[in-house]
């Protein structure tokens, strides 16, 4: 029974392609009410663009927002000493602060619509497996994803009985442009696709898994994670010293491959 879907990003051509696919679905389900599909470009690194996006979204949805998906993000590929503060701030703004700003604008409307506690408002935030585990050469990225995890954990408790639930998804490797679009320590584009990313999970299947899990009420869960990533999560809980040793070993291995 959705009325409106708003697609957002920076690439108009890609957004229009998704819009066309959505319209095909609309046309193939004639017995159902067609969903109004809008495209709103937004640059998550620009606070003014984010605020404008929130305002226009609320207008198009007539203040009837039920679901907010914070999916935008960018990764980094550099050692701590080679990463400028500007890159740290850039990743924090794109991966965390923009989503926090959108949530601040959208959440009051969601709570108002679902304030009796029986509503179905949902905030879905796509984090990363590096939200709970910080790996070498990802200090900026890990910092932004750790921020997402902590923010949502605190927010979830504040929204008890509000009719709005908070869901944090921590994906492993997915076949996307994440590594290709990553930034280096000086802000330049990384421009390479990791083999693990190229062999990662199908993004369509991951999207379905995420939506199914949210529909079942899962609030903090992992998707598309390799067996080693899942083991690492358990090691962090039961043996943090062992995890630290493994991360040091990974750092030395990666450092040797860069030299």
Task: Point out the residues that are catalytic.
Answer: 141
* 37: helix, strand or coil: strand
Separation of alpha carbons 164 and 185, rounded Å: 38
DSSP-based three-state secondary structure for 221: strand
Q: What are the structure tokens assigned to 57, written together?
A: 């979204």
Beta strands in the chain (DSSP E): 4-9, 36-41, 67-70, 121-126, 164-171, 220-223
Q: Where does 114-225 have alpha helices with state H? A: 139-158, 195-198, 203-215
Q: CA separation (Å) from 229 to 134, 189, 225, 243?
A: 12, 26, 6, 11
Q: Are the C-beta atoms of residues 5 and 38 closer than 8 Å to each other?
A: yes
**DSSP state at residue 8:** E
CA 58 from centroid of its chain's CA atoms: 21
Whole-angstrom distance, CA of residue 192 vs CA of residue 210: 27
Contacts of 150 (CB under 8 A, 6+ apart): none
DSSP structure class, residue 81: G
């Amino acid at each position: 029974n959705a009325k409106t879907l708003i697609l957002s990003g920076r690439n108009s051509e890609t957004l229009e392609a998704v819009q066309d696919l959505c319209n095909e679905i609309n046309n193939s389900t004639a017995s159902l009410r067609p969903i109004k599909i809008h495209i709103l470009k937004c640059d998550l690194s620009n606070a003014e663009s984010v605020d404008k996006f929130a305002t226009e979204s609320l207008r198009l949805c007539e203040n009837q927002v039920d679901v907010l998906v914070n999916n935008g993000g960018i990764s980094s590929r550099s050692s701590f000493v080679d990463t400028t503060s500007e890159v740290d701030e850039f990743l924090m703004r794109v991966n965390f602060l923009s989503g926090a700003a959108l949530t601040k604008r959208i959440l009051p409307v969601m709570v108002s619509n679902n304030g009796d506690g029986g509503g179905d408002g949902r905030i879905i935030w796509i984090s990363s497996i590096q939200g709970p585990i910080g790996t070498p050469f990802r200090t900026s990225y890990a910092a932004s994803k750790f921020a997402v995890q902590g923010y949502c954990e605190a927010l979830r408790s504040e929204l008890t009985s509000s009719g709005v639930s908070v869901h944090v998804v921590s994906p492993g490797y997915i076949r996307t442009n994440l590594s290709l679009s990553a930034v280096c320590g000086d802000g330049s584009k990384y421009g390479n696709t990791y083999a693990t990313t190229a062999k990662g999970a199908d993004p369509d299947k991951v999207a379905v898994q995420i939506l199914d899990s949210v529909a079942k009420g899962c609030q903090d869960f992992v998707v598309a994670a390799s067996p080693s990533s899942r083991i690492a999560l358990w090691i962090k809980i039961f043996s943090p010293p062992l995890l630290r040793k493994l991360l040091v070993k990974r750092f030395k291995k990666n450092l040797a491959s860069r030299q």
